[in-house]
Amino acid sequence: MPRTGLTASEIRTKAIDATMAKMREDGFDKVRLTDIARELGLSHAALYAHFADKAALFDAVSERWLSAIDESLEAVCRKRGEPTDRMLSWMLVLHRAKVAKVLHDPELYKAFDLSTAVQKPFAQRHMDAMHGQLVGLVREAIAKRRLRDADPEAMAHVISDSLMAFHHPKLVAQHIGEKREPLLRLVLETVLRGLNLKS
């Protein structure tokens, strides 16, 4: 137990909280580990025991956000109802999460964009979790004869890649001034029609 009386997990949580607050207040570029350590009553060296550098701290901020998205998407998957309807809900939840972050938390979005620009383990885990969720919905749709009986893995990739413009970090930010949900619905409906039993 450190002299602060906090566990390692509590220090990590408080460091992430403090970093998010600092980013919102002063901007992404002005966050310093020394400032975060001072706010927590730790030495700079003590904070290094939990985060190797500023990039690692930013990664932890992004990982927390992605974990929250994963949980929201998983909640959609667990709902009852038509799997194709849940695919639309799933895509809308993902799209809205990215749009909301760009609009209301732009400095944190910069950190997220920086973290995902390089392949990071936590970002890959997020991608794998999303793919697994989508594959599950595709399997349900096949079982209910809403989609043709084909490789669910490949079909999930087709669906995700077709809607990349609505969830890729840079593309979401690029179109942030536009109302894109009607187009998202149209693209998904078109893709699902192409994957339908009758096509």
User: Tell me, what's the pLDDT at 140?
Assistant: 97
User: Tell me, what's the pLDDT at 156?
Assistant: 97
Based on the fold, state whether residues 94 and 164 are members of the same structural domain: yes
State pTM to two decimals: 0.88
How far apart, in whole angstroms, are the C-alpha atoms of residue 32 and residue 151? 48
Burial 48-71 (b: 16+ CB within 10 A, else e): eebbeeeeebbbbbbbbbbeebbe
The reply to whether 167 falls in a domain is yes
pLDDT digits (tens, 9 = 90+) for 82-103: 999 999 999 999 999 999 999 9
Based on the fold, state whether residues 101 and 26 are members of the same structural domain: no
What 3-state DSSP class applies to 30? Answer: helix
Based on the fold, state whether residues 85 and 32 are members of the same structural domain: no
Based on the fold, state whether residues 73 and 162 are members of the same structural domain: yes
Range of the domain at 83: 55-194
Report whether 196 contacts 190 (CB < 8 A): no
In the numeric block, the tokens 């706010």 are attached to 39
Q: Which residues of the chain have pLDDT under 50?
A: 1-2, 199
User: Tell me, what's the pLDDT at 2?
Assistant: 46
Report whether 12 contacts 48 (CB < 8 A): no
CATH of the domain at 38: 1.10.10
* Nearest alpha-carbon partner for 115 in 45, 162, 56, 70: 56
